[in-house]
Chain A
Amino acid sequence: MRSYMKAWLLAVASAAVFLAQPAVANETLRIGAPLPLTGPLSPEGLKQQRGYDLWAETVNTAGGIKVGGDVYDVEIVYVDYESQTPRAVQTAERLITADNVNFLFAPFGSGAAKAASSVAERYQIPMIAATASSSSVYDQGYQYLFGTFTPNSTLTEPLAKIVANSGQDVSTVAIYARNDLFPLAIANEMKKSTENNDLEVISFDEYAIGTMDHASALTLMLRSKPDWVFTTGYINDLILIRRQMADLGIEPKVLTMIAGPAYQEFIDATGDHSNNVSSAAWWHPAVSYDGKDIFGSTADFVAAFEAKYNAVPDYAEASAAAAGAILELAIEQAGTIEPTAVRDALASMDAVTFYGPVHFGENGQIDSLEPPVFQIQDGKAKTIFPEIIKQADMRFGGIE
């Protein structure tokens, strides 16, 4: 009797274990992500990580990526390169050779993405760069590099056109840029855009990384009375510059700052002084697209992000999540995880995602997006370009 009971219990337990298992266990798709998770670039690295994590979690919760008869769960393999670009290249190589990742997400920014792209190309592993905008990253003739940021000029050209065609009396521009790769590149593009639109650049000044006071440069700006002040830098620079502009009573008709106002922190930190500050970014939560990707519409993506992080996504976080969603679409289209086939699917992609329409040019950089121009009006960022997602007209003046 006792042995009968034991056998019965064993049978029940075995059946329970058997039933608890899925019919076929999912395989794992490994994607390598070298990121600056510590060091001075860590805030940016952590933002990218949030985008990737949201995508991976959304895919896995939905049951994984279906490829032919197989189903893959997503695993992102993170390696911290401590904000040191040479280490980013080493970690990208290690991810391919030691961790056997199937695909790569590029490290942060144009410089590190460019450096790491040579590794991806050598091993023929598709790599998607979520935060690299400089054309020089993509003009290397590489086949396995794709990027979700359009060239810097796509941010400045619409701004210059809007201002030049506004009918307002705006003719002189003062440019004040952080002497750093991206902020200086954007400032140089702005100089070209103003000249293309018959505006006059009356000053072009650079400030050093780590500058803790802008009073002298702004005092000189105050004397030249530009109609349009265009400043570039990271959020801490721009908060300080905006405050010191207010202290010194610099009140141009147009004030544009890139890239701080894209973040809610900028509005929180500058309060009323953020009003009527214009900016441009590659993406903004106010845009509206009905995507075919895992996130669906832009509103669905924003809701999913807010539910997970209790924060509104910015362009870097959205771009990182989009990099995952785009890779997923390419794998599904290729019907395999074989790198060359996925690379071909990426190269021929023409799809709408929550992030916007996605098509890559010959050089691998996205060429289908129109980055939104926006302005902070009454404490909220409102898109003023492109026309299809416009929420408000651009306001002139009111910079106090």
Chain B
Amino acid sequence: MLYAQILLNGLVLGGLYACISVGFSLVWGVLNVINVLHGSFVVLGSYIAYFAYAHFGIHPFFSIIIAGALLFALGYVVQLGLINRVVGAPVLTTLVLTFGLDLLLNNGMLLAFSADYRSVQLADPLGSAVVGGLVFPLDRLVAMLLAGVLTGLLYLLLVRSKIGRAIVAVRMDREAAALMGVDVKKIYAITFGIGALMAGAAGSLLSLVFPISPLAGSEYLSIAFIVCILGGLGSISGAIVGGIVLGLIQSFGALFIGPQHGLTIAFVLLIILLIFKPTGIMGRRGYE
């Protein structure tokens, strides 16, 4: 029963990790931009959910729509107005640009919201359910399931819609896509916007789980980074597999070696993976 509980804990955690990472993976895969802003986008989504609940009583499960829409708009504008200007430059240039923008956004949030930790206190939390001796933390579980639904919708968007096919086409061959009449810069902006949307929606869901503070942005970013490299860059399935693998490693690592070594084990495996299978567990390129 202990192992089953640890497995459950790992799966729920992994689902949340995947939810943090999927937008980051999309942007990195399609635009070849390491979006350092991603962690702060997640935090901004959490703040939107926090204030939406505190002032208007909107449950974070529903404020994913507001957070997603606002973050999409922000991401679209940032990409169109700023990152598109240097998107063809070496990856270090976009890295420095998003790093600078992250400093601005992070310090802006510190000024606006202070460094105090906040948390969404639901009037009627779902609590936990015990089934067959296993404890199911329901808020976390529903957050994870909603994250799964969102990820599924993103997948459908990419494989079924015209815009999705354009994104995939740009991911595969930018020049060829441009020759086929795809407005590459616009697709970049839409992709970055979708990445930000996923970050905002994830932040909204995570507001029920983690304390909210501008300082949490760097932690979310490192999770996204590890998940993408573990799972394989640029694919939704890679982000899901990477997230769940990381969640399980941390859970079982804490059980067998001690909670202080959970992250260490994850990093050691990451290094081993980089040596023997640098494309990640899924090892696929693109969303095709």
Contacts and interface: CB of A to CB of B under 8 A. Distances in A.
A264 B252 CA distance: 35
Given A236-B216, A249-B135, A207 B6 contact: no
Contacts of A216: 6, 9-10, 250-252, 254-255, 259, 262
Interface string A20-40: 000000000000000000001
B6 A205 contact: no
Interface in A233-258: 235-236, 239-240, 243-244, 246-249
B219 A210 contact: yes
Contacts of B173: none
Interface in A175-206: 176, 179, 205-206
A214 B259 contact: yes
B100 interface: no
The secondary structure that dominates the A interface is: helix
A179 B260 contact: yes
The secondary structure that dominates the B interface is: helix
Contacts of A219: 2, 5-6, 9, 255
A236 B121 contact: no
Interface residues of B, number: 43
Contact of A208 (B137, B252, B264): B264
A206 B5 contact: no
A50 to B, nearest CB: 12
Contacts, number: 107
Contacts of B9: 213, 215-216, 219
Contacts of B10: 216
Nearest to A311: B116
Nearest to B256: A216
B93 interface: no
B62 interface: no
A175 to B, nearest CB: 12
Given A40-B215, A217-B254, A247-B128, A265 B118 contact: yes
Given A236-B213, A248-B137, A271 B121 contact: yes
Contact of B251 (A215, A248, A270): A215
Contact of B135 (A42, A206, A248, A265): A248
- Max chain B CB contacts within 10 Å: which of A217, A219, A235, A268? A219
Interface of A: 40, 42-43, 46, 176, 179, 205-208, 210-217, 219-220, 223, 235-236, 239-240, 243-244, 246-249, 265, 268-271
28 contacts: A40-B215, A43-B116, A176-B259, A179-B260, A206-B259, A207-B259, A208-B260, A208-B261, A208-B263, A208-B264, A210-B263, A212-B13, A213-B250, A213-B262, A214-B259, A215-B251, A216-B255, A220-B255, A235-B211, A239-B117, A239-B119, A247-B140, A249-B128, A249-B135, A265-B116, A265-B118, A268-B118, A270-B121
